[in-house]
Chain A
Amino acid sequence: MRGRKASAGLSRVQVLDRAEISRALERMAAEILERDPDPNQLYLVGVQKRGVPLAQRLAALVERASGRRPTVGALDITLYRDDVGPWRPAHQQPVLRATSLPEAIDEKTVCLVDDVLYTGRTVRAALDTLMDYGRPRAIRLAVLVDRGHRELPIAADFVGRTVPSARTEDVQVRLAETDDDEGVWLARETR
């Protein structure tokens, strides 16, 4: 599975395969429980769109380890982005997806879950979105991949894999729930 796949001026290097994603999530679930041992207080909130299946997987793993399934929610941060407006390519607004927080987040320990941590701007938007829903006891951040290049003072509490990358590269996360295969790739245009 591993190695370079060159096609149409694009080189892709796989950095995580399906089994490695599973192992990374298992370790992250254990770390989440170590930090906040009471799953009744824990609220896993996935950021649309690939954070949502990741939050569901982490919830299942937390349940397996503790016997109690934490609350799971989905958050769409589109309306809180800092790049909505006429400076985007013409007529292309980001697609709105569902936000669903089945229980109030007040006094809970919310763990935001996303696939890739990059500039930190999505997390900033997610924090602002969450604050409009209530006052959690604490907010943590879990990401499958941290690729660096932060533009805001934001850090993850739980990281699946740190992937050093160049800004010109593209980190591609594909999950069985949202895509037709699963893995993490580092892609770069070649000339």
Chain B
Amino acid sequence: MPVAPATGLRGKDLVGIDPLSAGEIQLLLDTAEQMREVAERPIKKVPALRGKTVVNLFFEPSTRTRFSFEVAEKRLSADSLNFAASASSVEKGETLIDTARNLEAMQPDFIVIRHRYAGAPHRLARILKASVINAGDGAHEHPTQALLDALTIRLHRGTLEGQVVAIFGDLQFSRVVRSNVLLLSRMGAKVRVGGPPSLVPPGIEQLGCEVYHRMEDAIAGADVVMMLRIQLERQSRVNFPTVREYYDFFALTPERLKLARKDCLVMHPGPMNRGVEIDSRVADGPQSVILEQVTNGVAVRMAVLYLLAGGQGEPASD
């Protein structure tokens, strides 16, 4: 039974997948699916958010996500302002609030925020009138990534329900995995996660997934395999002996992919470490939908902006 889409989003913000109902997720995905068509038009721009101001507040480096938000904002005719802050200027908690209050004084309609601390978007959402969109907070959530992954699966399979999705790699430092497990399990998919034991946080199964330690077991019969990036920059100490050993045990290789369903989709949120968590023959192979994920990312962010522009809902709570 497919979930009926909600008539609108309840909140004024998108701080995570966790506060969303299945109906709201369905509405976001349905809207995103139609937004894809805008990119096919001779004039790739619609006036829906004319006169709206979006501040892209990135306290952490990001190319893909920031770019994707910016393209989405421009396709909807919103005005974008980019604020790139170095992490060092916001080490003290006060500064984030001060920055946000200063920005609010310029009356933006949306604030897209990426921050190294979990909960930073929630904090802003409570004190600001603008709609706050989480573009990644620490190792907590990355809701638009989960939505674009879900849209990619749905476009290929028609539904999320019953899909066996194996997510493999660095679970400890990944906000992508949290948002994905929450979304996919809420929509009726069967989620398997796994990685080197040193990178599997205890209690992750409580999000709604099964934990595997051998990659071969996680992949067996899967409809979708999603590889996570080994985030070398987030690891204070080495959690596995060598990159070479990681490849030997945990990389998605053509041989391992054969264990999955014949037409299993290969996904990766990017940027990829070729030859570490994914073999180039798989990343560039016929089952890879990695570049479609990027295209769908723009459509998903357009849908989020459009639906949040619909009215002032309740601010997010934490």
Which A residues lie at the B interface, using CB under 8 A? 76, 78-81, 84-86, 88-93, 95-100, 128, 132-134
Contacts and interface: CB of A to CB of B under 8 A. Distances in A.
A76 to B, nearest CB: 7
Given A86-B310, A91-B9, 16 more contacts: A79-B48, A79-B306, A84-B310, A85-B310, A88-B310, A91-B8, A91-B313, A92-B7, A92-B310, A95-B5, A96-B35, A97-B34, A98-B34, A100-B37, A132-B41, A133-B41
Contacts of A88: 310-311
B20 to A, nearest CB: 13
B241 interface: no
Nearest to A131: B43
Interface residues of B, number: 26
Given A84-B48, A134-B42, A96 B31 contact: yes
How would you classify the secondary structure of chain A's contact residues: helix, strand, loop or mixed? loop
Contacts of B31: 95-96
Contacts of B306: 79, 84, 93, 96
Interface of B: 5, 7-10, 30-31, 34-35, 37-38, 41-43, 45-48, 76, 306-307, 309-313
B26 to A, nearest CB: 12
A121 B83 CA distance: 37
Contacts of B7: 91-92
B35 A128 contact: no
A83 to B, nearest CB: 11
B305 to A, nearest CB: 10
Contacts of B10: 91
Contact of A96 (B8, B9, B34, B47): B34
